C-alpha cells in the first residue's frame, strides 16, 4: 500500500486561527494519519498542541477554545518520510533562539539530510529528533547572525536538496517556502482579508476561503501585519518537476493542485487508457476509492457502462480487533466487499490508479474469480512503477516494486488477470495541462535530484539511534 505525504495549513490574522487551522487539517487528513500538530502565536510566545493519531483525536474544544490563543495559526499532519513515527517527531517543530520563537512544518523529503546533520553535529549542534525538519531549523538559526529571518531562511534553502514545502512561524511572521523544482503543492488563499496557505485547495473550500494561486518553484512568501511579500531564492533556476503522483493518487479529487483540477485529470487518465487498451467487456468498475475517477473516464471514452460492483465500508477505522489466524485476508475484506450478483458470468474491466506491490489487488481479484467472473481485465491509470522514490513516497527500494522485477505478462498471471495494461508515459503526460513539468522518476528512473548515498526514512535512526524504534514505539 502506498503512503501519503504530509499536509500543511496556515492562517494569518484570524481571531479563530486555531479553529480554522483545525478545519484545514481535517480537510487534509488524507495526506497523513500518523500525527497532527497546531501552533499559534499569542503575541509573546508560540503555543502548541501535538499528538499521535488523527486530527479529531489530537485536538479538543479546550485546545481550540482556550489553550491555542493567538491570531496566527499553523498546522501539520504527518506521514513520516525521514524520521520514524514517534511523538517526538510530530510537527510543527519548535525552537527558541534569543528572542526568536521558531516553528517549522515540512511536507517533503530532503535527500542530503544525513550529510547536513553530520556537518552540523561536528560544529556542535545538538539534535532532539530524527527528522530532516530539525536539520533545516538548525540551518536557519546558524544563518541568523547579522541577518534577518528572511535572509536566514533563504540562505538555509541554499544548503538543502530535495522536495519540500515548508511553513515557518517566526514570532509574528508566517512564512512559506517551496523548493526550486516545485515537487510539492502549496497554495495561497484568502479568507475575507486574511491570508491562508494549504497543501491543497480542498482545505480552503471547507473554511470558505478564496483560492488565489499556487506558490511558484523557489518562492518564499512572508506574511506580516496582514501584508504579503514575495521573494525568490538565490539559487540557479531548476526545471519544474512537479510530482505527478499528486494527480494520480495523493490529492483529493476536489482540489486544485499545480493549477490543475484533480478530478478532471483522473478522468483524462482513464479516457487515455480506453484509447490505448480497449477491451470487449460487460462493464467497467473501480476498486474504491482510488480508481473511481479514472474508471469514470474509461467508461465515458469506451462506451462501457460503469458499475460500482465493489462496495467500500466507510466506517472502518485505522485499527480494529484482529481476527484469528484462520480468517485469512480479513483486513482486505473488511474494507471492500463485492456485490455478488453483479459478478457471476461477467467480463469485467477493473480500473486502478496504480500497482505498487500487487498483494492486495491479487486478493481482490481472487475473490472475484471465486464469485464466478468470466473474464477480469485490469487497466492502470499510471505507467509501471519501476524505480524507488526519494522525494517522499513510501516505496524507497526496488525490491518492493512488482513492476521493477517482473514483466507485465508475469504480473498479470500473478494477479490472476486475463489482461493487464498500464497507461504509457506519453499517454499520462498528454493528459495533463503542462507537458514538461513533471517528475516521472518512479516510472523512468530520471531523477531530477541525485539520490543520496544514505537512503530511507529510517536512515537517521539506523545511524544515530539503532534502538530508538524499539525503545519508543
Instruction: Check pLDDT > 90 for residue 367.
Output: yes
pLDDT of residue 290: 83
Q: Compute φ and ψ for 349, nearest 5 degrees.
A: -110, 120
Question: 7-241 falls under which CATH superfamily?
Answer: Aminohydrolase, N-terminal nucleophile (Ntn) domain (3.60.20.10)
Sign, CA torsion 123/456/452/103: negative
Taking alpha carbons only, the member of 48, 43, 115 closest to residue 75 is 48
Instruction: Check pLDDT > 50 for residue 473.
Output: no
| Lowest mean pLDDT, pick from 76-80, 118-122, 167-171, 260-264 | 76-80
Confidence band, pLDDT 50/70/90 cuts, at residue 335: confident
Give CA angle at 68 (224, 44), nearest 5°. Answer: 50
User: Does residue 137 contact residue 105 with C-beta atoms inside 8 Å?
Assistant: no
| Lowest mean pLDDT, pick from 2-11, 35-44, 198-207 | 2-11
pLDDT of residue 360: 87
Instruction: Check pLDDT > 50 for residue 151.
Output: yes
Interval 46-67: pLDDT, tens: 999 999 999 999 999 999 999 9
Sheet holding 72-78, edge to edge: 46-52, 35-41, 72-78, 7-12, 194-198, 187-191, 210-214
Q: Cα separation of 150 and 234, whole Å?
A: 12
Instruction: Check pLDDT > 60 for residue 471.
Output: no
Instruction: Check pLDDT > 70 for residue 208.
Output: yes
Instruction: Check pLDDT > 60 for residue 441.
Output: yes
Instruction: Check pLDDT > 70 for residue 302.
Output: yes
289 vs 381, residue with greater confidence? 381
Give CA angle at 393 (25, 200), nearest 5°. Answer: 30
pLDDT of residue 331: 62
pLDDT of residue 89: 80
pLDDT of residue 470: 29
> What is the secondary structure of 151-199 as a DSSP string?
HHHHHHHTT--EEEEEEEEETTEEEEEE-TT--S--EEEEETTEEEEES
Share of the chain above pLDDT 70, in %: 88
pLDDT of residue 317: 54
Q: Cα separation of 275 and 302, whole Å?
A: 8
User: Does residue 376 contact residue 306 with C-beta atoms inside 8 Å?
Assistant: no
Q: First vs last Cα of the chain: how many Å apart?
A: 21
Q: Is 66 exposed, middle or buried (0-12, 13-18, 19+ CB in 10 A)?
A: exposed
- Other Cβ atoms closer than 10 A to 381: 33
Label residue 139 left, alpha or beta by phi (over 0 means left) and psi (-120 to 50 means alpha): alpha
202 vs 82, residue with greater confidence? 202
| Lowest mean pLDDT, pick from 243-252, 304-313, 437-446 | 304-313
**Residue partners of 290: CB distance under 8 A and separation at least 6:** 249, 352, 353, 354
pTM to 2 decimal places: 0.89
Mean pLDDT across the chain:
89
Q: Cα separation of 214 and 257, whole Å?
A: 8
pLDDT of residue 458: 52
Confidence band, pLDDT 50/70/90 cuts, at residue 40: very high
Instruction: Check pLDDT > 80 for residue 79.
Output: no
Residue where the block lists cell 515540512: 106
- Return the DSSP state at 42: -
Mean pLDDT of 193-211: 97
Instruction: Check pLDDT > 50 for residue 105.
Output: yes
Sign, CA torsion 429/354/248/33: negative
pLDDT of residue 229: 98
The full set of domain ranges for the chain reads 7-241, 264-313+332-438
Instruction: Check pLDDT > 70 for residue 316.
Output: no
Same CATH topology for 7-241 and 264-313+332-438: the answer is no
pLDDT of residue 325: 46
Q: Cα separation of 18 and 161, whole Å?
A: 31
Strands 347-352 vs 283-286: parallel, antiparallel or unpaired: parallel
Mean pLDDT of 376-397: 87
Stated length of the chain = 473
Kindly list the catalytic residues. Answer: 6
Instruction: Check pLDDT > 50 for residue 320.
Output: no
Find out if CATH 3.40.50.2020 is the number for domain 264-313+332-438: yes
pLDDT of residue 394: 67
Mean pLDDT of 359-382: 95
> What is the secondary structure of 277-342 as a DSSP string?
S----SEEEE-TTTTHHHHHHHHHHH-PPB---EEE-TT--S--PPPPTTSTTHHHHTTEEE-HHH
Mean pLDDT of 188-196: 97
Strands 72-78 vs 7-12: parallel, antiparallel or unpaired: antiparallel
Amino acid at each position: 500500500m502506498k503512503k501519503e505525504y504530509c499536509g500543511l495549513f496556515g492562517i494569518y490574522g484570524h481571531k479563530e486561527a486555531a479553529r480554522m487551522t483545525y478545519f484545514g487539517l481535517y480537510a487534509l487528513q488524507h495526506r497523513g494519519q500518523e500525527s497532527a500538530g497546531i501552533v499559534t502565536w499569542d503575541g509573546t510566545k508560540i503555543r502548541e498542541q501535538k499528538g499521535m493519531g488523527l486530527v479529531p483525536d489530537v485536538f479538543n474544544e479546550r485546545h481550540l477554545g482556550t489553550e491555542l490563543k493567538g491570531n496566527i495559526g499553523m498546522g501539520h499532519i504527518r506521514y513520516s518520510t525521514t524520521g520514524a513515527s514517534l511523538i517526538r517527531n510530530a510537527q510543527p517543530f519548535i525552537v527558541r533562539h534569543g528572542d526568536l520563537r521558531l516553528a517549522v512544518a515540512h511536507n517533503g523529503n530532503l535527500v542530503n539530510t544525513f550529510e547536513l546533520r553530520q556537518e552540523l553535529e561536528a560544529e556542535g549542534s545538538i539534535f532532539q529528533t530524527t527528522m530532516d525538519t530539525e536539520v533545516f531549523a538548525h540551518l536557519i538559526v546558524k544563518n541568523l547572525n547579522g541577518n534577518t529571518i528572511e535572509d536566514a531562511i533563504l540562505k538555509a534553502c541554499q544548503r538543502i536538496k530535495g522536495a519540500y514545502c515548508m511553513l515557518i512561524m517566526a514570532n509574528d511572521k508566517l512564512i512559506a517556502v517551496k523548493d526550486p523544482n516545485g515537487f510539492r503543492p502549496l497554495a495561497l488563499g484568502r479568507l475575507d482579508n486574511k491570508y491562508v496557505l494549504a497543501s491543497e485547495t480542498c482545505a480552503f473550500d471547507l473554511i470558505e476561503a478564496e483560492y488565489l494561486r499556487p506558490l511558484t518553484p523557489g518562492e518564499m512568501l512572508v506574511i506580516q501585519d496582514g501584508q504579503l511579500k514575495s521573494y525568490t531564492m538565490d539559487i540557479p533556476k531548476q526545471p519544474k518537476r512537479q510530482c505527478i503522483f499528486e494527480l494520480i493518487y495523493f490529492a483529493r479529487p476536489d482540489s486544485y493542485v499545480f493549477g490543475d483540477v484533480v478530478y478532471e485529470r483522473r478522468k483524462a487518465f482513464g479516457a487515455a487508457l480506453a484509447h490505448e487498451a480497449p477491451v470487449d467487456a460487460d462493464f467497467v468498475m473501480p476498486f474504491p476509492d482510488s480508481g473511481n475517477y479514472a474508471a469514470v473516464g474509461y467508461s465515458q471514452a469506451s462506451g462501457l457502462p460503469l458499475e460500482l460492483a465493489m462496495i467500500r465500508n466507510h466506517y472502518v477505522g485505522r485499527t480494529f480487533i484482529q481476527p484469528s489466524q484462520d480468517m485469512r485476508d480479513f483486513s482486505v475484506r473488511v474494507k471492500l466487499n463485492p456485490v455478488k450478483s453483479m459478478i457471476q458470468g461477467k467480463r469485467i474491466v477493473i480500473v486502478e490508479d496504480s500497482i505498487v506491490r500487487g498483494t492486495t489487488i491479487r486478493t481482490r481479484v481472487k475473490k472475484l474469480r471465486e464469485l464466478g467472473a468470466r473474464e477480469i481485465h485490469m487497466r492502470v491509470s499510471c505507467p509501471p512503477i519501476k524505480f524507488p522514490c526519494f522525494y517522499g513516497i513510501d516505496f524507497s527500494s526496488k525490491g518492493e516494486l512488482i513492476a521493477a522485477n517482473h514483466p507485465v505478462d508475469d504480473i498479470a498471471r500473478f494477479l490472476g488477470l486475463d489482461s493487464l495494461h498500464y497507461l504509457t508515459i506519453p499517454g499520462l503526460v498528454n493528459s495533463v495541462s503542462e507537458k514538461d513539468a513533471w517528475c516521472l522518476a518512479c516510472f523512468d528512473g530520471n531523477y531530477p535530484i541525485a539520490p543520496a548515498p544514505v537512503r530511507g526514512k529510517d536512515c537517521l535512526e539506523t545511524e544515530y539511534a539503532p534502538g530508538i524504534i524499539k525503545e519508543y514505539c
